[in-house]
A and B are shown apart, each in its own frame.
Chain A
Amino acid sequence: MADVDTGSKGGGRSKKGGPKTKKKSTKIDMTAMVDVAFLLLTFFVLTATMSSSSVMELTMPPKVDEQEKDDLYKKILEDKIMTLVLDDNDIVKYYVGITEPDVQEAYFDNDGVRKVIIGHLLYGQRELGQARCKGKNVEGCWDPIFVIKPRNQSRYKNLVDLLDELAITEAPKYAIDKFTAQDSLLLTGELTAEEP
């Protein structure tokens, strides 16, 4: 048990006097090593989650009841509110204000929604001579508000695209709201509420 090889028996052949052993090549066969390396490599390549997903922060206004919301909207200067309705087939219908607004259409292309948003952002400066608001509660400056109202047929992609456009143009205030019966009356002429 637990013998210690003193080296006096086998392996002494190369010592003085013994017959010289043929020198072996120092080359190692690496084929097996390469096999193992590539096997592991394949494993890690396949399991690696190389996804480049990112996140978009979204803050919703706290829930309030409809009456409160109506009162809230009335307090705001109508011209500041632009409503963007997400409709079927990637169409955005938009209008400014609340009382008898003029409904127009835009698409998600280079000259579409972004131009509309920028136009509204710059409206205060161009038409009213008001600079854009910086900081909170500044009187007499332009702080437009965008309200997104997705209809039931619209796709989630449109919502993200629109939020993206608002983020790109650095719109200061935007919110997602419900598409109500009044909106339906305005857009289609029928007073029908859409229950999601």
Chain B
Amino acid sequence: MSAKKPKKHPPAIDMTAMVDVAFLLLTFFILTTTRFREDSKVEVDMPSSVSDLPVPDVKLCIISIDMEGRVFVGYSDPLTREEVLNRFIGEKEVEISAEGAAYFSTLQEFGVPHKEMVEWLNQEGDGLKEFEHHGISARVTDSTSMTGNDLKDWIRWGRLADQRMRFAIKGDASAKYPAVSHVIESLQDWNVNQFSLVTDLEEGADIIIEGLE
């Protein structure tokens, strides 16, 4: 005689603890997320340094240089982006669609030379996103001429948008020096002699140097 089979229960797991953990982590990440990752146009592998100064929490203009030496410009503040684009439109006397302008103010950085700007920002829909960024020309041709160096215009417009704008250079570790030199010279042409270099924090940089107090 077989024993009476026990009534089968569906396997139930107590999920309370799991929910607790999940929400704890969720809360942590919500609180620590300061800024969402924005649509990025350039990949930069930053060199590391022992400097542990945080990125300044002011309106910032970051000039990125990628591996191939292409230059990209980005403004940290969306309102500045709008204002800078308006200055571009005003000075170059061009027309840009509302869609393009709205898209521009969402961009973390861009690398389109002046002569391609109108074509780029008058694209529609996915055309805006897929447009190729060739990099902004930063070569210093002649410090008195306004042509040939688009970067200098972006620096000037950034400065006009906010007098206290800080400038930072975010270069790729393997970028060759001339590209960096062009950017520094462009900044110095507007008497921006103080700027920041964005780097990755190097861990374990406790260094003891003998002979130096």
List residues of chain A with CB under 8 Å of any chain B CB.
Answer: 27, 30-31, 33-34, 37-38, 40-41, 44-45, 47-63, 86, 114, 118, 121-122, 150-157, 159-161, 163-164, 167-170, 176, 178, 196
Question: Which bucket holds chain B's interface residue count?
Answer: 35 or more
**A46 nearest CB neighbor, chain B only:** B37
With contact pairs A122-B211, A168-B209 given, residues A55 and B197 touching in the complex (Cβ less than 8 Å): yes
Chain B residue numbers with a CB within 8 Å of A56 are: 49, 51, 53, 196-197, 199
A164 to B200 Cα, complex, angstroms = 12
B35 proximal to A (CB < 8 A): yes
| 13 A-B pairs (CB sep. < 8 Å) | A27-B12, A34-B15, A40-B26, A44-B26, A48-B29, A49-B36, A52-B200, A54-B199, A55-B56, A55-B168, A153-B176, A161-B49, A168-B50
A18 to B194 Cα, complex, angstroms = 84
List residues of chain B with CB under 8 Å of any chain A CB.
Answer: 12, 15-16, 18-19, 22-23, 25-26, 29-30, 32-37, 46-56, 65, 168, 171-182, 184, 188-189, 191, 193-202, 205, 207, 209, 211-212
Chain A residue numbers with a CB within 8 Å of B53 are: 54-57
B62 to chain A, nearest CB (A): 10
Pick from B22, B180, B193, B205: contact of A159, CB under 8 Å: B180
A94 to B9 Cα, complex, angstroms = 80
B109 to chain A, nearest CB (A): 14
Chain A residue numbers with a CB within 8 Å of B207 are: 168
Q: Contact between A86 and B196 (Cβ–Cβ < 8 Å)? A: no
A102 to chain B, nearest CB (A): 23
Q: Contact between B15 and A54 (Cβ–Cβ < 8 Å)? A: no
A55 to B65 Cα, complex, angstroms = 15
